[in-house]
Structure 1
């Protein structure tokens, strides 16, 4: 069984590498399902529909970084942005997902007893291009 460590993940948003500030990310694919059965059927018949996808990420806030998550995301809520996700890191033959996504939410959390953190939620718009890095 081959595995890959999460620490290798690379995420860029609008060409800004936010990987050093990111501790967690999630990529979710789903699809509409339609009931296409008719009268007299004992069992439902299903057909797939349009696909959908979401992407979330978050991590530790860094107030010294000019390309950190606040600078890359804060002013762009509601904007469609280019996102590249390299789940196994950068390297020849490794997978890469590229997509456009609307930044729907950016959150900064300020606990009294811990470091400031951030999170972001994206709704993917259109096709996801999955390639192998050259």
Structure 2
């Protein structure tokens, strides 16, 4: 088993590489589950349905005017954007997830005793395409 360090993760939103500003990211896949139990059964019978998902990321705020998280993400709030996620970094044979997602939330947090931070939440729209980088 080979472990992979999270520091190699690459995240691109609407073609902008926001990886240098991220400290954390999370992909969550889910699916609808339907109860199709009929009369006479002693236990529930279930069937899978539509696939869904969420993606979140966040990190330390950086005021880099054209590429920082505020400049790259805040204007996209409420729009559908292309997201590319490379959990093992870039390189031949490494996995890559590509999907469209609506940026549903962008948050900036400014505590009095710490650095300003940011976070973003995306609702995935349609299928996630998983490929191997060439």
What range is the shorter-chain TM-score in?
A: over 0.9
Deviations 1:81-118 (A, max 9, x none): 00000000000000000000000000000000111000
Runs of 4+ in 1 over 4 A off after TM superposition: none
Residue in 2 that maps onto 1:97: 97
Residue in 1 that maps onto 2:120: 120
Residue in 2 that maps onto 1:42: 42
Residues 65 and 2 of structure 1, relative CA distance in 2, 3 Å threshold: farther
Q: Which runs of 5+ in 1 are unaligned?
A: none
Would you say how many aligned residue pairs link Structure 1 and Structure 2?
A: 134
Q: How far did residue 2 of structure 1 move? A: 1.4
Residue in 2 that maps onto 1:18: 18
Cα RMSD for the two superposed structures = 0.7
Q: Which runs of 5+ in 2 are unaligned?
A: none
Residue in 2 that maps onto 1:75: 75
CA distance in 2, matches of 1:12, 1:4: 19
Q: How far did residue 64 of structure 1 move? A: 2.4
Q: How far did residue 16 of structure 1 move? A: 0.4
Name the SS for the 2:73 alignment partner. helix
TM-score by length of 1: 0.98
Q: How far did residue 40 of structure 1 move? A: 1.0
CA distance in 2, matches of 1:91, 1:76: 28
